[in-house]
A and B are shown apart, each in its own frame.
Chain A
Amino acid sequence: MKVCVDYDKCTGLGLCESLAPEFFEVQDDGSLELLQTEGAESQRAELEEAVRACPTEALSLEG
């Protein structure tokens, strides 16, 4: 599945990073970097958790 970030909504809080650090990393300037764009099926639960935890609803999964 594909991991999508809406950068207009993202505030760089990093809740996603604490739940799925292999996908998300907030940089020193406060911007979010997507480390991988494709998630394996085995990572779905972890990614869904990150999507749900995002307070600004900036994350989504496709596929």
Chain B
Amino acid sequence: MVQTRPAYDTVSVGSLEFWAKTPEEREERFRILRDERPVSWQRPAEGSMLPQEDGAGFWAVTRHADIQTVSKNPKDFCSGQGVMIEDVPPDILEAASSFLAMDAPRHTQLRKLVSAAFTPKQVKRIDEQIKDQARRITDELIEVGDCDFVDQVARKLPMWTIYEMCGLPAERRSDAAHAADGMVSWSDEDVRQGKEPAELLNDSLITLINIGIDLAEDRRAHPRDDLMTNLVQAEVDGVKLTDEDIAAFFVLLSVAGNDTTRNTITRTLEALTRFPDQRKILQADYEGTIGVAIEEFVRWASPVMTFKRVATRDVELQGQQIREGDWVVMYYASGNRDERAFADPYTFDVRRTPNQHVGFGGGGPHFCMGNVLAKTQLRALFDQLLHRVPDLQGGEPVQVVGNFVDGVKSMPCTLNL
């Protein structure tokens, strides 16, 4: 039986006009959908490189519980056909996404090679170095004074950390991080500077792949104690990884390692500026509150706003008939404000418990591998900032327009020392 599609939802959460709004403004629409149509049929996304086929659209999943359902059922909702609201050609998909856009068993095998470097024990080994970097970054902030917080502070620690783990030489880190930004902000006209979306994505991807391949070749010749050396030496089913595999890892680590933590840092300063009583709680007993507070930082920021899955069979969700091949998009930003899962979801509460946010994903095999690393960075940086620049204030953030990450391009800050 062929079922007809529902009409496109009048509450659109896929247009560029929608993504240009602030998180608070977007929330007005998410709230309507969560209450009335938790799984809604949406028009094809705007700002795409390859428009979806005529007549297609996608399902928007906006409730916390439904995001978990989709996320924990990779057999029904797979990642292997792409995870962004975008029809990416298969070769680009593999080169740009590595195991992010794969399913078991290949996903499990490849992810394990990298995840071993992100376990609590491994992250603890570099904890002191991360703290040291956070101290230096804060030294520089105090020296420079009022500035753009994103450029002067937020981008630095994630960039240092992920590339230190990879073993990327310092002089190439800025270029790599800049290219990583291009991978997630091609629908923003200001970032593109006259380029077409596909052109920016392609240029950024080639830059990262080349850096990744250079690094892999160097580590084959000169092994060191770092992640890239582990990757060139690793075998899956007795077969070494190709340069392309390793470069794809590097692309994924670059994007996932830079962007998410940077934006969480920025959004957290914004929140601590808006909710001064919460800042005081942290300052009064940092060690005692930061562990719980970090989860709230991530819930509040929801740095990854969406991920897509593709239905592998006809399946019903919240009364909607999802067909095999349909795009199903999880809106983490909405799930993290779901009244069904959080008391007073619009309140930034550094003591919130429980806090089962979906900021690292809704569970399942793709749960954020870098969560311990991200939390370690947040802990180290805000320890420095809140104690040494106690009245640091964030100004108006300038957002990236796009449907994937909640990017903040710049945000002025004043030190008030």
Which residues from chain A sit less than 8 Å from chain B, CB to CB? 11-15, 17-18, 21, 25-31, 55-57
Contact = CB atoms under 8 A, between A and B. Distances in A.
A25 B121 contact: yes
5 contacts: A25-B121, A56-B363, A56-B367, A57-B72, A57-B363
Contact of B113 (A14, A15, A30): A30
Interface of B: 72, 108, 111-113, 115-116, 118-122, 360-361, 363-365, 367, 369, 371-372
A14 B111 contact: no
A28 B121 CA distance: 9
Given A55-B361, A57-B72, A15 B371 contact: yes
Contacts of B365: 11, 56
Given A30-B112, A30-B113, A57-B72, A14 B119 contact: yes
B371 A30 contact: no
Given A17-B120, A25-B121, A12 B112 contact: yes
A30 B119 CA distance: 8
A12 B372 CA distance: 13
A11 B115 CA distance: 8
Given A11-B108, A12-B112, A30-B113, A55 B119 contact: no
Contacts of A28: 116, 122
Given A26-B116, A30-B112, A30-B113, A13 B369 contact: yes
Contacts, number: 55
B119 A17 contact: yes
A21 B119 CA distance: 12
B307 to A, nearest CB: 14
9 closest A-B pairs by CB? A55-B367, A30-B116, A30-B112, A26-B119, A14-B119, A55-B363, A18-B120, A17-B120, A14-B120
Given A25-B121, A28-B116, A57-B363, 9 more contacts: A13-B119, A14-B119, A15-B371, A18-B120, A26-B120, A29-B116, A30-B112, A30-B115, A55-B361
B89 to A, nearest CB: 28
A10 B72 CA distance: 13
Nearest to A55: B367
Most buried by A among B120, B121, B364, B371: B120
B364 A14 contact: no
A37 B178 CA distance: 47
Contacts of B371: 13, 15
Contacts of B367: 11, 13, 55-56
A8 to B, nearest CB: 9
B132 to A, nearest CB: 22
Contacts of A57: 72, 363
Given A55-B364, A56-B367, A14 B372 contact: yes
A18 B372 CA distance: 9
Contacts of B72: 57
Nearest to A21: B120
Contacts of B113: 30
Contact of A11 (B112, B120, B372): B112
A57 B108 CA distance: 15
B362 to A, nearest CB: 8
